């Protein structure tokens, strides 16, 4: 946006060109902000995923330790454990190898 624009064009055309330039600059600023915001969101999501992976690994380790202790001490057999896992899997009506949305209520008396 220089004075030559006003000298080489009529005044109204130069003003319109200035408006177009301003709009382009504003759009570039908006894109830069959006890119920064998306990069920050990606960083946060990456950190959250790493935290969840750590938590999952710790939970799996604890589960394995408890399972092996129960089996070693004869608290239950591998067959009993498998049968109970299948029963719990079906509580939500889908045999997908995951626990369903059923809330766990330790005071319900359903210890089986």
**Domain map (residue ranges) of the chain:** 3-73
Q: Which of 4-8, 30-34, 86-90 is least confident?
A: 4-8
Tokens 């969840």 -> residue: 52
Tokens 């399972």 -> residue: 67
Q: Is the pLDDT of residue 26 over 80?
A: yes
pTM here is: 0.57
Q: Evaluate whether 11 touches 3 at the Cβ level (below 8 Å).
A: no
CA–CA separation, 29 and 23 (whole Å): 10
CA–CA separation, 80 and 55 (whole Å): 27
% the chain with pLDDT above 90: 60
Q: How confident is the model at residue 17 (pLDDT cuts 50, 70, 90)?
A: confident
Average pLDDT over every residue of 13-32: 90
Q: Where are the alpha helices (DSSP H) in 73-111?
A: 78-89
pLDDT score for 112:
45
Q: Which of 30-39, 79-88, 92-101 is least confident?
A: 92-101
């Amino acid at each position: 946006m220089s004075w030559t624009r006003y000298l080489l064009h009529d005044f109204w055309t130069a003003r319109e060109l200035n408006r177009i330039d301003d709009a382009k600059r504003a759009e570039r600023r908006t894109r830069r902000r959006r890119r920064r915001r998306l990069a920050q969101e990606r960083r946060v999501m990456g950190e959250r995923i790493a935290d969840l992976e750590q938590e999952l690994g710790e939970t799996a380790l604890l589960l394995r330790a408890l399972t092996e202790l129960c089996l070693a001490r004869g608290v239950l057999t591998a067959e009993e454990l498998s049968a109970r896992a299948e029963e719990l899997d079906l509580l939500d009506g889908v045999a997908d190898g995951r626990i369903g949305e059923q809330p766990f209520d330790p005071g319900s008396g359903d210890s089986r």
